[in-house]
Amino acid sequence: MSAAPIELPRWADIALVPLISVAASLLVAGLVVIGIGENPLLATTLLLKGALGSVEGLSFTLYYATNFIFTGLAVAVAFHAGLFNIGGEGQASVAGIVLTFACLGLAPLPGFLLVPLAILAAAAGGALYAFVPGWLQATRGSHVVITTIMFNFIAANLSVYLLVEVMRKPGSMQPESAEFARHAILTPMHILLAPLGLKLPDTPLNSAFLLALAALFAVWLLIYRSRLGYEIRTVGANPRAAAYAGISPAQITMIAMAISGALAGGLAVNEVMGVQHRLTLDFTAGYGFVGIAVALMGRGHPAGVGLAALLFGVLYQGGTELSFDQPKITRDMVVVIGGVIILFAGALEGLFRRFTAAGLALARKG
């Protein structure tokens, strides 16, 4: 469409439009719930209660949100450079493999060295695996959307091969690596907070959550406050102006993809090092793809990504609880809601912007 972009006040852009998108998606999901003969209000209450109603539920919500923060940031950073990185799944898979080699291979090292090194290894693995499509686009013109999708399949098959043939624990039938040593894992939150006198239930929430919060801040600093971020945004907004300014779009493409892949590696840190304590097959579980929705909803801004990640955390955790209480509503419902949100927040965003603009104009007149 050649229509001019619709200008909205900043607050409407950041808060109102995403809120309308979510409300519309929940409405559609509510219709589906009615369609299968359940009460949507009851379902919503159960969902929210399951996600936010208890310390345990909240801990699970934040654990899911950790994954979404990393994958959402990964997509957001690439967005700013005008790149659509769909390869979060593959990058996290490779990060998990490298991470596992580090955790198992560097086991003789003490924890305070091993843990940071392993996290860096995961970031490096993800970065390298995203750098290759970036390099291909910069030098050969192969579009990252295509190559990152293909790289997802390569990574998935590589994982199967390695877990079956190379990394499998001797004597085990499971396609899993050996378990990490006790000093090679991230501290669970209930242990981390115990010295402060806080008694938390035993949940998958671990210190990777704090790393995710740090990543939110670091990405904000990078994109909006650093010279490199300025270059990334310039390339994303106007590659010709970037070339004029002496910024190499090819170079920025590779750098932005590498940073994006490193952030996707955070998913492996949370899942493999923080929760499973071993490499398992398919630990990425679609979090990489949901990251696209998170980044779209958050409009690429770390604050927005944080809020959108929390929302998806609520949906995941609440959806799980809901499917326990109401067996007719399976966890697939959450996938449906997620899909509708992607549709509304991403593809149909212009629609809501138009409505919002018209509504605001009306409010100003009236």
Partner 1 sequence: MSDAPAPAIELVAISKSFGPVQANKDVSLSVAAGSIHGIVGENGAGKSTLMSILYGFYEADSGEIRVGGKPVSIRSSADAIAAGIGMVHQHFMLVEPLSVVENVVLGAEGGARLKAGISQARTELARLAQDYGLVIDPDAIVGELSVGLQQRVEILKALYRGAEILILDEPTAVLTPPEADQLFALLRALKAQGKTVILITHKLREIMDATDTVSVMRRGEMIAHVRTAETSPAALAEAMVGRRVLLRVEKAPRQRGRPVLEVAGLSVRDERGVERLSEASLTLHEGEIVGIAGVAGNGQSELLEVLAGLMQPSRGVIRLGGAILNAGDRTPSRLRRLGLMHIPEDRQRMGLVTAFPAAENTILGYHRDPSFGRGPLLSPSRIVAHALAGIEAYDVRPADPTLKTAKFSGGNQQKLVLAREIERAPKVLLVGQPTRGVDIGAIEFIHRRLIALRDAGVAILLVSVELDEVMALSDRILAMCGGRITGERQAETADEKDIGLLMAGVGEAA
The single residue listed with the structure tokens 């955070």 is 266
Which residue, 233 or 278, is less far from partner 1 as judged by CB? 233
Q: Which residues contact 337 (CB under 8 A, 6 or more apart)?
A: 25, 26, 29, 315, 319
Instruction: Tell me the C-alpha distance between 192 and 196, whole Å.
Output: 8
Which residue, 163 or 215, is less far from partner 1 as judged by CB? 215
- Least distance CB 362 / partner 1 (angstroms): 12
What character string, x for contact with partner 1 (CB under 8 A) and - otherwise, covers 200-229?
Answer: ---------------------x---xxxx-
Single residue of 80, 190, 233, 277 touching partner 1 by CB under 8 A: 233
- Least distance CB 241 / partner 1 (angstroms): 5
Count of alpha carbons within 13 angstroms of residue 173, beta-carbon side: 0
- Least distance CB 36 / partner 1 (angstroms): 44
Q: Give, in order, the Cα–Cα distances in Å from 254 to each of 248, 250, 304, 315, 334.
A: 10, 7, 25, 34, 35
Q: Give, in order, the Cα–Cα distances in Å from 246 to each of 236, 241, 292.
A: 15, 9, 31
Strand partners, 206: 188
346 neighbors 339 (Cβ within 8 angstroms): no
Instruction: Tell me the C-alpha distance between 54 and 60, whole Å.
Output: 10
40 neighbors 344 (Cβ within 8 angstroms): no
Residues in the chain: 366
Which residue, 8 or 145, is less far from partner 1 as judged by CB? 8
Q: Which of residues 51-110 bind partner 1 (CB under 8 A)?
A: none
- Least distance CB 139 / partner 1 (angstroms): 15
- Least distance CB 165 / partner 1 (angstroms): 43
Residue 271 parent element (H or E): none
* Cβ neighbours of 211 (radius 10 Å): 19
Which residue, 55 or 221, is less far from partner 1 as judged by CB? 221
Identity of the amino acid at 308: A
Instruction: Look up residue 15 and give its DSSP letter.
Output: I
Which residue, 244 or 324, is less far from partner 1 as judged by CB? 244
Token pair of 106 as six digits: 């560097």
Choices 18-26, 34-42, 201-209, 233-241; region in contact with partner 1 by CB under 8 A = 233-241
Q: Is 351 in the site for partner 1 (CB under 8 A)?
A: no
> Total residues contacting partner 1 (rule CB under 8 A)?
18
Which residue, 231 or 271, is less far from partner 1 as judged by CB? 231
- Least distance CB 258 / partner 1 (angstroms): 16
- Least distance CB 298 / partner 1 (angstroms): 18
Q: Which of residues 236-255 bind partner 1 (CB under 8 A)?
A: 237-238, 240-241, 243-246
Contact positions toward partner 1, by CB under 8 A? 221, 225-228, 230-231, 233-234, 237-238, 240-241, 243-246, 361
